Copies of this chain bind each other. A is one copy, B any other.
Amino acid sequence: MKLSKLVGDRFKERPANCLIDSHALMVRGGYIKNVANGIYSQFPPMKRISQKIENIIRDEMDKIDGQEVLFPVTLPGSLWEESGRYESVGSELLRFTDRTGSKMVLGMTHEEASVQLVREYANSYAKYPFMIYQIQTKFRDEARPRAGLIRVREFTMKDAYSFHTSQEDLEQYYQRCYDAYNRIFARCGIPEVAVVKSDSGMMGGSISHEYMLLTAAGEDSIAICPECGYSANVEAAPSIVKNENTIAKEELKEVATPGTGTIEELCEFLHIPAENTAKAVVYQRNADDSYVVAFIRGDLDINETKLTNALGCEIHPAVIEDDSVLTAGFIGPVGINEKVTVLFDNSLKDIDYLVTGANKVDTHYTGFNVERDCPNAKYFDLAKIVEGGICPQCGKPHITISRGIEVGNIFQLGTKYSKAMGFKYTDENGEEQYPIMGCYGIGVGRMAASICEVRHDDYGPIWPITIAPWQVHLCCLRSDDAECKEFADNLYNTLQNKGIEVIYDDRKARPGAMFADADLLGVPVRVVVSPRNLKESVVELSTRDKSIQKKVPMNEIEQEVDNVIKQLTDSIYEKVK
């Protein structure tokens, strides 16, 4: 490919709306173009990267006996009604009607479609286990698309579905897929991806893992224990709190606390630490706006995912109007309106005397004891695990919290979908059973953007050679110099004929402009042909990551390009287990 013909602009200025580097670089480098909120077109370099990632995924899925299929993007609403998700999933599921008025949805995940495809076929135990997968466009009507290709509404995803006759068989296959995922990330040049326990969310099922690429630009928080290696999404990590009773025995007593609508104001007014308070955090159910109050120790925060799971329904942060049954800023468990759902976080267990709201303006209780004053209190794990918190695995208080991007996930679904959709097979004894399912996803565009996020410098992406849009970037510094151009033209043809992918900058451009473009395209091997070097019978060869920068004799350059490509490829494959 000649750069002079490559469709797409590259430019220097960082676009104002790009909050993270990968987004800025992929716009500046002519990889993507925004079409609508969270919806992008892909220019040729991005399409090439996507295809390479897809081919790596396809290869690894085939190696674990996956069979590639294709499900529709547009699905009948009736299929999602069978699983119950037509109702249960929020507005990220795009619902519409076709010309006949039939309910349709845009596929955001294909559990229902996978069951629909195989439920007649897989009617006997002898057909099991099997796995089917697709690489296809998905749509998820995200409320807040952000960060370029990291969180979009339309995306290409590999989604795989496995079917089993026993939990044991699922677990064995889950492990094979777990390993295949590690190979995929290593082959794409990010062997450091961490596997963490995750919350299964709307997918249902019990055990699930996320593959996290750790980076400050990530939108997920991961709890890691450096002592024992425990790692989990904070949404899935239990918060463990040990309370010590430090306050003398007290009676429940109303005290005036004027102007103390926040925990900070309250603690300052009473000269107590936040741990000695029971804080109210208020939400409303999406369905009917009814109030939910979660009480938690004043120094901790609620994790909404945990609260959602505890309630079994979708919620949003509350708006408390003046005429509400709640007294904003002074809400407490004692005497709270009966219509309000009240939950207690585990952090309020085994703690004796606290300050909490009295459900009256400018008034709190001191000496509040949950067991004595709220004998029917129900405890849940609702708190966010914190930096320095207790590790749920080894018990040491050394948890660290890191940011990460979820680049893949795997779920043990169990029989949620087969039961809901009446999908059965006949077992060895002639009895009907529900198949046990697993599902396994990787977003292609998000993976590319994540790799860019962790593999770039100020000037552009540094693509791993296995997914780079081209392998070699050839610059002819003076295309108006006949000898120089002839050498570069020949080298371009020779390398291409050897099957090497070359982007050839044959433009009449300043060297600075050429190198800036080369940096933005992030191609791993760069070859620079210039009249000055040709006089010395050499060309310059360097790598985008600057690990190699040397002059190579003209007659050795083809061989040396081969060598460097092999070296870069090998260094990636060394990390594939």
Which A residues fall within an 8 A CB radius of B? 1, 5-9, 30, 33, 35-37, 39-44, 46-48, 50-51, 65, 67-76, 79, 91-92, 94, 96, 98-100, 102, 104, 106, 113, 116-118, 120-122, 130, 132, 134, 136-137, 139, 141, 143, 153-154, 156
A535 vs chain B, min Cβ distance (A):
31
- Answer whether A70 and B41 are a contact pair too, CB < 8 Å, given A36-B75, A118-B7: yes
Taking a contact as CB atoms under 8 Å apart, the answer to whether B79 and A35 are in contact is yes
Measured CA separation A374–B493 after assembly (Å): 70
Residues of B within 8 Å of A48, CB to CB, are 68
Measured CA separation A36–B94 after assembly (Å): 17
Residues of B within 8 Å of A9, CB to CB, are 120-121
Residues of B within 8 Å of A33, CB to CB, are 116-117
Closest to A30 in B: B121
Closest to A71 in B: B41
Taking a contact as CB atoms under 8 Å apart, the answer to whether A121 and B72 are in contact is no
Taking a contact as CB atoms under 8 Å apart, the answer to whether A36 and B102 are in contact is yes
- Answer whether A41 and B7 are a contact pair too, CB < 8 Å, given A35-B76, A79-B35: no
Taking a contact as CB atoms under 8 Å apart, the answer to whether B70 and A73 are in contact is no
> Main SS of the interface on chain A?
mixed
Measured CA separation A43–B71 after assembly (Å): 9
- Answer whether A141 and B99 are a contact pair too, CB < 8 Å, given A7-B121, A7-B132, A68-B47: yes
Residues of B within 8 Å of A121, CB to CB, are 7-9, 30
Measured CA separation A329–B9 after assembly (Å): 64
Closest to A46 in B: B70
A557 vs chain B, min Cβ distance (A):
26
Residues of B within 8 Å of A71, CB to CB, are 35, 41
Closest to A62 in B: B1
A221 vs chain B, min Cβ distance (A):
26
Closest to A122 in B: B7
Closest to A48 in B: B68
Closest to A5 in B: B130
Taking a contact as CB atoms under 8 Å apart, the answer to whether B72 and A47 are in contact is no
A189 vs chain B, min Cβ distance (A):
22
> Can you name 13 A-B pairs with beta carbons within 8 Å?
A1-B67, A6-B67, A7-B67, A7-B122, A35-B72, A35-B79, A39-B72, A41-B72, A42-B69, A43-B117, A47-B69, A73-B137, A98-B153
Residues of B within 8 Å of A104, CB to CB, are 36
Residues of B within 8 Å of A30, CB to CB, are 121
Residues of B within 8 Å of A65, CB to CB, are 5
With A44-B68, A44-B69 already in contact, 13 other A-B pairs whose C-beta atoms are closer than 8 Å? A5-B130, A6-B67, A33-B116, A35-B116, A36-B72, A37-B100, A48-B68, A51-B68, A74-B106, A94-B98, A98-B141, A99-B141, A137-B137
A138 vs chain B, min Cβ distance (A):
9
- Tell me which of B36, B69, B73, B116 contacts A43 (CB under 8 A): B69
A313 vs chain B, min Cβ distance (A):
19
Measured CA separation A161–B35 after assembly (Å): 17
- Answer whether A154 and B41 are a contact pair too, CB < 8 Å, given A9-B121, A67-B6: no
- Answer whether A74 and B153 are a contact pair too, CB < 8 Å, given A99-B143, A113-B35, A121-B7: yes
Residues of B within 8 Å of A74, CB to CB, are 36, 39, 106, 139, 153-154
Closest to A34 in B: B116
- Tell me which of B44, B69, B98 contacts A41 (CB under 8 A): B69
Closest to A36 in B: B76
Going nearest first, the 8 A-B pairs with the smallest beta carbon separation are A96-B96, A42-B70, A36-B76, A44-B67, A91-B99, A99-B141, A39-B72, A41-B117
Residues of B within 8 Å of A8, CB to CB, are 121
Measured CA separation A349–B121 after assembly (Å): 63
Measured CA separation A48–B74 after assembly (Å): 21
Closest to A156 in B: B70
Residues of B within 8 Å of A79, CB to CB, are 35
A375 vs chain B, min Cβ distance (A):
44
Residues of B within 8 Å of A75, CB to CB, are 35-36, 39
Measured CA separation A560–B113 after assembly (Å): 42
Residues of B within 8 Å of A98, CB to CB, are 94, 141, 153
Closest to A134 in B: B47
Measured CA separation A122–B116 after assembly (Å): 45
A50 vs chain B, min Cβ distance (A):
7
